[in-house]
């Protein structure tokens, strides 16, 4: 089996690194091409992947094609490759935010291809991803199973109605950036009080990691866990109230509103 990546940017690289680390397939069976030689050729050489000279050459040899180009370019890229898709009939997986199955289907001009829309996040690189999947009309069950297994090897997966992709994109696709922001804000506060930034970042990353694991393992909701940390008359509740006065929860929800609004513009 060969998996071809069209696009070698941040998302494609995260999936490719995850597949290499999980030893999901021989690295030379990962094919890659993108618009910028300077990004994909050194990356392919570094990881032992096969660099391809064009998108068309890549599709001709791939059993699975992962489209990971900017959303605005995705439909033009697939429309250009129609002849190669028709001939090879690979499973086509698009990770482009805001590009619907109907748009993909229309631009591929195919009623027989297995088309899958996926929304992964960059944590697939370390086997801790969260990926949603939805299938096109003609997608064969065995093809969906194959793609589910691929993303399961890189973290957790969930089937999702296409109407919920924008909110999933905000809560899982974009949210690593928001989690990094929170970690950075905590560690910057440590710097304010004299800690070295690297030391503060290590402390906060481990604390957020442990807290996320606790939420995931718990059958209660985060509010109950907050109460466990907040000693009566103690420091935590003082901090929580000050964060709320500054509008932390409203700021987060407004950020998600803006993320969803942007995806719906596409």
Ligand X SMILES: O=C(O)[C@@H]1CCC=N1
Shorter beta-carbon distance to ligand NAI: residue 7 or 155? 7
Binding test (CB under 6 A) with ligand X, winner from 7, 136, 155, 169: 169
What HEC string does 176-225 produce?
A: HHHHHHHHHHHHHHHHHCCCCHHHHHHHHHHHHHHHHHHHHHCCCCHHHH
Q: Binding residues for ligand NAI, per CB under 6 A?
A: 6-12, 34-36, 39, 55, 68-71, 73, 77, 95-97, 119-122, 173
State residue 160 phi and psi, 5-degree precision: -150, 140
Per CB under 6 A, contacts with ligand X among 38-77 are none
Tell me which residue has its CB nearest to ligand NAI. Answer: 9
Nearest approach, Cβ of 67 to ligand X (angstroms)?
A: 13
Shorter beta-carbon distance to ligand NAI: residue 10 or 202? 10
Shorter beta-carbon distance to ligand NAI: residue 173 or 200? 173
* Whether the Cβ atoms of residue 30 and residue 48 lie closer than 8 Å to each other: no
Nearest approach, Cβ of 97 to ligand X (angstroms)?
A: 4
Q: At what angle do helices 10-21 and 37-47 cross, to 10 degrees?
A: 10
Shorter beta-carbon distance to ligand X: residue 114 or 174? 174
Shorter beta-carbon distance to ligand NAI: residue 122 or 144? 122
Residue 172 is given by DSSP the state I
What distance in Å separates the CA atoms of residue 236 and residue 171, rounded to the nearest whole number?
Answer: 26
Is residue 136 involved in binding ligand X (CB under 6 A)? no
Per CB under 6 A, contacts with ligand X among 88-117 are 97
Q: What is the maximum alpha-carbon separation in the chain?
A: 70
Q: Three-class SS of residue 3?
A: strand
Cβ-based neighbours of 216, under 8 Å, separated by 6 or more: none
Tell me which residue has its CB nearest to ligand X. Answer: 173
> 34 is in the binding site of which of ligand NAI, ligand X, none (Cβ under 5 to 8 A by kind)?
ligand NAI
Nearest approach, Cβ of 183 to ligand NAI (angstroms)?
A: 16
Shorter beta-carbon distance to ligand NAI: residue 37 or 140? 37
What HEC string does 64-133 produce?
A: EEEECCCHHHHHHHHHHCHHHHHHHCCEEEECCCCCCHHHHHHHHCCCCCCEEEEECCHHHHHCCEEEEE
> 6 is in the binding site of which of ligand X, ligand NAI, none (Cβ under 5 to 8 A by kind)?
ligand NAI
> Using CB under 6 A as the criterion, which residues of the chain lie in contact with ligand X when the complex forms?
97, 169, 173-174
């Amino acid at each position: 089996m060969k998996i071809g990546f069209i696009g070698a940017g941040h998302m494609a690289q995260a999936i490719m690194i995850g597949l290499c680390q999980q030893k999901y397939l021989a690295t030379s069976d990962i094919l890659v091409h993108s618009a910028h030689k300077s990004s994909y050729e050194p990356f392919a050489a570094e990881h032992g992947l096969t660099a391809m000279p064009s998108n068309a050459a890549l599709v001709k040899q791939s059993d699975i094609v992962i489209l990971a180009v900017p959303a605005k370019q995705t439909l033009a890229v697939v429309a250009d490759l129609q002849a190669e898709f028709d001939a090879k009939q690979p499973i086509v997986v698009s990770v482009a935010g805001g590009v619907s199955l109907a748009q993909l289907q229309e631009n591929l001009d195919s009623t027989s291809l297995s088309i899958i829309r996926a929304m992964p996040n960059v944590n697939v690189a370390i086997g801790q991803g969260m990926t949603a999947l939805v299938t096109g009309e003609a997608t064969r069950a065995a093809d969906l199973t194959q793609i589910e297994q691929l993303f399961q090897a890189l973290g957790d997966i969930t089937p999702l109605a296409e109407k919920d992709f924008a909110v999933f994109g905000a809560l899982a696709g974009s949210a690593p950036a928001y989690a990094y922001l929170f970690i950075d804000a905590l560690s910057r506060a440590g710097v304010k009080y004299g800690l070295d930034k690297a030391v503060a970042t290590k402390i906060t990353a481990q604390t957020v990691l442990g807290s996320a694991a606790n939420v995931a393992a718990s059958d209660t909701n985060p509010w109950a866990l907050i109460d466990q940390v907040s000693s009566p008359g103690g420091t935590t509740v003082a901090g929580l109230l000050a964060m709320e006065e500054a509008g932390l929860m409203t700021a987060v929800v407004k950020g998600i509103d803006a993320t969803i609004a942007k995806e719906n513009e596409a």
